């Protein structure tokens, strides 16, 4: 089959596997994004709350039923679906009704949490807007599932396109696509949250960088800049982090080249400029739009989503928590070193392409920045750091490239040679 057919086959197989879990993928953030999407589609507060609570409670009931069915003591008990659903609906509606009566009726989201916390989600319209056509076409449950499949499958396809742009052989580019699906990237992208779009747009920015370095400068720079703009709509902190990291990587690569007596070229400074412009634009636009500040984010973290009074001296507490978090995080990584091993292999592969590899490492570093901004060890599945998994997704195929090329016969004299890969 042609390469594009294999790409579609991998994406289709991944999508079929996701039928095993249509419900039960939601997290506490999901209901905020879903309510936002339902509001954008024209539903009022109570209608959006009804549909959102039904979805959340059906998911919890599904998880409870499946967990009980394999419990070695409780598997013979009656089906808990009705009981769990009723209890969940009662708790959620009690919270929502109380806040609605208190006057918390503004914005697009349903008041599941304090107003200051919900404000954080109000400034992230990108993902809810993406959900609207899926929910309108397929309903809430299947609409969220279909949207997640599209996002996750697109991420794998983008990983393939990045590698092919770098002239990596097709089998290894398909390996990168498969790695995206089987590593935490695919699992996290299937959760109805912003992380799937963050992964996809970050990969799109990397694809733009690869195109620019490959000689398609205008198309690459437009794609990189457009991806950063899209990230602002999805989650502006990621646009800031990626812009800063790309700018820093471009500056370091340019300095390194000059010190070695080589010209920096036009593409590297241009990518650095786009990153710097995106970072500056994000800060300015967020201020002009009165987005929640870093102080709001800090208080949200330290007060348990504003369930407690604001901390008088948050920064010293934050830095202390930061040190405790990374100490515990490193201990857990030493216990289960798969992530560390994958990152090491990814860095090794990135070093084979020092220019593009610098931008790849920079993009992956945004995962660590996101995690550092929220040093909460209890957040599900380390989803905040998931962007760091892009390093092994793209880096491991780059690491294996010499092995693959060694098995390809050298073309006969007079035939076209293989294209020189991007360095």
Which DSSP string corresponds to 277-332?
Answer: HHHHHHHHHHHHTT---HHHHHHHHHTTTTTSPPPSSHHHHHHHHHHHHHHHHHHH
Q: Is 108 within a domain?
A: yes
Question: Cβ distance 423 to 355 under 8 Å?
Answer: yes
Provide the pLDDT for residue 216: 92
Distance CA 401, CA 172 (A): 7
Number of domains in the chain: 1
Percent of the chain whose predicted confidence (pLDDT) is above 90: 78
Question: Cβ distance 364 to 387 under 8 Å?
Answer: yes
Nearest C-alpha neighbor of 34 from the set 139, 115, 117, 116: 139
Q: Is 173 within a domain?
A: no
Whether 212 has a pLDDT exceeding 50, the answer reads yes
Provide the pLDDT for residue 248: 96
Percent of the chain whose predicted confidence (pLDDT) is above 70: 95
Label residue 419 by pLDDT band (50, 70, 90). Answer: very low
Whether 418 has a pLDDT exceeding 80, the answer reads no
Q: Is 68 within a domain?
A: yes
Q: Is 101 within a domain?
A: yes
Q: In which domain, by residue range, is 70 found?
A: 24-126
Distance from chain centroid for Cα 327:
24
Q: Is 313 within a domain?
A: no
Over residues 376-402, mean pLDDT: 89
Q: Is 40 within a domain?
A: yes
Q: Is 240 within a domain?
A: no
Q: Model's pTM, two decimal places?
A: 0.92
Nearest C-alpha neighbor of 154 from the set 22, 25, 8: 8
Q: Is 155 within a domain?
A: no
Provide the pLDDT for residue 224: 96
Nearest C-alpha neighbor of 126 from the set 226, 274, 276: 226
């Amino acid at each position: 089959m042609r390469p594009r057919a294999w790409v579609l086959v991998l994406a289709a197989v991944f999508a079929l596997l996701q039928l095993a879990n249509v419900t039960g993928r939601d997290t506490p953030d999901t209901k905020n994004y879903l309510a936002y999407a339902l509001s954008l589609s024209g539903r009022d507060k109570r209608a959006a709350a009804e549909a959102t609570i039904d979805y959340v409670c059906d998911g919890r009931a599904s998880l409870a039923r499946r967990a009980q069915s394999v419990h070695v003591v409780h598997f013979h008990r009656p089906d808990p679906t009705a009981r769990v659903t009723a209890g969940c609906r009662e708790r959620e509606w009690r919270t929502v009704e109380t806040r609605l009566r208190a006057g918390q009726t503004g914005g697009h989201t349903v008041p599941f949490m304090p107003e200051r916390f919900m404000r954080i989600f109000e400034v992230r319209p990108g993902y809810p807007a993406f959900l609207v056509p899926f929910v309108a076409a397929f309903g809430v449950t299947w609409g969220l599932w279909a949207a997640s499949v599209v996002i996750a499958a697109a991420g794998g396809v983008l990983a393939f396109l990045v590698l092919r742009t770098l002239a990596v052989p097709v089998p290894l580019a398909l390996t990168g696509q498969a790695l995206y699906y089987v590593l935490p990237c695919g699992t996290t992208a299937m959760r109805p949250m912003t992380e799937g779009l963050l992964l996809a747009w970050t990969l799109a920015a990397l694809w733009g960088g690869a195109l620019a370095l490959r000689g398609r400068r205008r198309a690459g720079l437009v794609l990189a800049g457009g991806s950063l703009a899209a990230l602002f709509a999805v989650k502006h902190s990621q646009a800031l982090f990626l812009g800063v990291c790309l700018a820093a990587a471009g500056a370091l690569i340019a300095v390194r080249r000059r010190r070695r007596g080589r010209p920096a070229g036009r593409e590297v400074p241009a990518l650095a400029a786009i990153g710097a412009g995106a970072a500056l634009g994000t800060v300015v636009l967020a201020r002009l739009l009165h987005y929640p500040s870093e102080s709001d984010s800090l208080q949200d973290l330290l007060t348990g989503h504003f369930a407690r009074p604001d901390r008088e001296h948050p920064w010293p507490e934050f830095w202390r928590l930061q040190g405790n978090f990374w100490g515990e995080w490193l201990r857990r990584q030493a216990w289960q070193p798969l992530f560390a091993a994958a990152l090491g292999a990814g860095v090794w592969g990135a070093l084979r392409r020092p220019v593009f590899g610098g931008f790849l490492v920079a993009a992956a570093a945004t995962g660590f920045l996101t995690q550092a901004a929220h040093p909460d060890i209890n957040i599900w599945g380390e989803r905040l750091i998931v962007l760091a998994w892009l390093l092994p997704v793209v880096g491991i195929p780059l690491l294996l490239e010499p092995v693959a090329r060694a098995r390809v016969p050298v073309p006969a004299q007079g035939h076209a040679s293989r294209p020189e890969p991007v360095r």
